[in-house]
Chains A and B, each alone.
Chain A
Amino acid sequence: MNSFLMQEVPLSWYLLLSAALFSLGVVGFLIKRNLITVFMSIELMLNGVNLSFVTFAHQWHAVKGQIFVFFVMLVAAAEAAVGLAIIIAIFRARATLAVDRIDLMKL
């Protein structure tokens, strides 16, 4: 019972989870065919990295790690806004959201 109510989680598990999330994000980027879903996997990658930052901030008890996460979130927000605007523009030009069809460099 004591082991069941263990109060401790090794930090390496958090890091493993972060690595797993990141890898899943990359896999999603590679195999998904919808442009928006691809973009979402990018967000997934960013979140995985955020988790590892917070873990290390907890490890060293450094505020800076968390501030970095804060900034990452900010930038991710800006990026999402602009990125989605671009996707809308692409959709207007191509009338398709399939990644494989958007293979000419100029719009």
Chain B
Amino acid sequence: MHLILFIVFAGFCLAGAINLLLQSHPINSALSLIVVMTSLAVLYLMLGAEFLAAAQVIVYAGAIMVLFTFVIMLLNAGREDRTLGSRAAGRVGFPAVVAVLAVIATMILHAHGLGVARLSDGITTTEELSAVLFTKLLLPFEVTSVLILIAILGAVALASRGNGDQERTGGR
């Protein structure tokens, strides 16, 4: 059962990722990414991380990807045009990625001590998670909320129309 589920949803992940690369319109790429996100949520669930699966769907697929979609629609981004590329990207980047992938894959395959995963094996309850989160890691938790506040402020400041107009007319 686990195997079938894994194959199906891993396949969705890979397909979504590859589709993201192959599509030329950004909205299609965004939708593929949503597919990836939700498949990953299922995979988390299979690994026993219930809370994270939920968070993945709510935060990533539900908020972040929606944000992406809104921005794409706001800016009216169209199909990508074939601009002058960067030769280095192709000639230097690709071999690097391939090499890294190969090395990591080799290491994973030759690693000992990696066990197996079974369904309903080692499920982490939300209660366990929060017990650690709100006692031992309270400070980082609060700090990250401040971080999000700052991010909001920054986003508002950057994207507000007032700034934009002034920049267009020459700026301060």
Residues of A within 8 A of B (CB): 4-17, 19-21, 23-28, 30-34, 36-37, 39-41, 43-44, 47, 50-51, 54-55, 57-59, 61, 63-64, 66-67, 69-71, 73-82, 84-89, 91-93, 97-98, 100-101, 107
Which residues of A have CB within 8 Å of B64? Answer: 43, 76-77, 80
**CA A50 to CA B157, docked complex, whole Å:** 30
Can you give 13 A-B contacts (C-beta < 8 A)? A7-B1, A11-B114, A19-B101, A24-B18, A24-B21, A27-B21, A27-B94, A32-B29, A36-B77, A47-B36, A54-B52, A75-B144, A92-B164
- Contact call A89/B2, Cβ cutoff below 8 A: no
**CA A60 to CA B150, docked complex, whole Å:** 35
Closest 10 CB pairs between A and B? Answer: A78-B151, A85-B155, A85-B158, A85-B159, A92-B164, A8-B116, A30-B93, A24-B17, A100-B83, A58-B47
Majority secondary structure, A binding face:
helix
Additional A-B contact list (15), CB under 8 Å, known A75-B144, A86-B158: A9-B6, A9-B117, A21-B14, A30-B90, A33-B85, A51-B43, A66-B49, A67-B137, A71-B140, A75-B147, A84-B71, A85-B154, A85-B158, A85-B159, A98-B83
| Nearest-neighbor residue (CB-CB) of B10 within chain A | A17
B156 to chain A, nearest CB (A): 8
Which residues of B have CB within 8 Å of A28? Answer: 17, 20-21
**CA A10 to CA B44, docked complex, whole Å:** 15
Residues of B within 8 A of A (CB): 1-4, 6, 10, 13-14, 17-18, 20-21, 26, 29-30, 33, 36-37, 40, 43-44, 46-49, 51-52, 55-56, 59-60, 63-64, 67-68, 71-72, 74-75, 77, 80-86, 89-90, 93-94, 97-98, 100-101, 104-105, 108-109, 111, 114-119, 122, 124, 128-129, 132-133, 137, 140, 144, 147-148, 150-152, 154-159, 163-164, 167-168
Which residues of B have CB within 8 Å of A50? Answer: 40, 52, 56
Given contacts A14-B117, A81-B155, contact A67 B56 (CB under 8 A): no
Query: Residue B119 contacts which of A7, A30, A69, A81 (CB distance < 8 angstroms)?
Result: A7
Which residues of A have CB within 8 Å of B105? Answer: 16, 19
**CA A100 to CA B10, docked complex, whole Å:** 33
B37 to chain A, nearest CB (A): 7
- Contact call A73/B59, Cβ cutoff below 8 A: yes
B32 to chain A, nearest CB (A): 9
